[in-house]
Amino acid sequence: MSKKMGSCHCGKVKFEVEIDTAKGMECNCSMCGRKGTILSFAPDAQFKLISGADFLTDYYFGKKTINHSFCKVCGVTAFASGKAPDGSLVKAVNLRCIDNIDIGAIEINHFDGKNLM
């Protein structure tokens, strides 16, 4: 793992994260299925918001345990915040928002989030 830079589409929200970009997760829940995100997870301490906090809007749904932040200018969800099963803070980063990675090279794991609720 190495530090990667990422952003929303318009560039207002920028971040740095130490994350595994070789593997990602596609979830079929009502949110992820519509957005087409490929997620990878990092401890909150490995994530740094560089700019754009004032451009983020929060969205919660379902059990309201995950904060889906999105840019209020371009609408892109670059990351979400929540808790890991052990209770530690975690970021779910949309790998499609990471600079200079080959999306086609990511090993995709599928998650059945649709049937969790």
Q: What is the pLDDT of residues 76-92, one digit of tens each?
A: 999 999 998 899 999 99
Domain 2-20+37-100: top CATH class: mainly beta
- The closest of 68, 96, 94 to 82, measured between CA atoms, is 68
Q: What is the pLDDT of residues 49-68, one digit of tens each?
A: 999 999 999 987 777 778 88
The pTM assigned to this predicted structure is: 0.91
In degrees, to the nearest 5, what angle opens at C-alpha 51 toward C-alphas 20 and 17?
10
Q: Copy the structure tokens of residue 5.
A: 């830079």
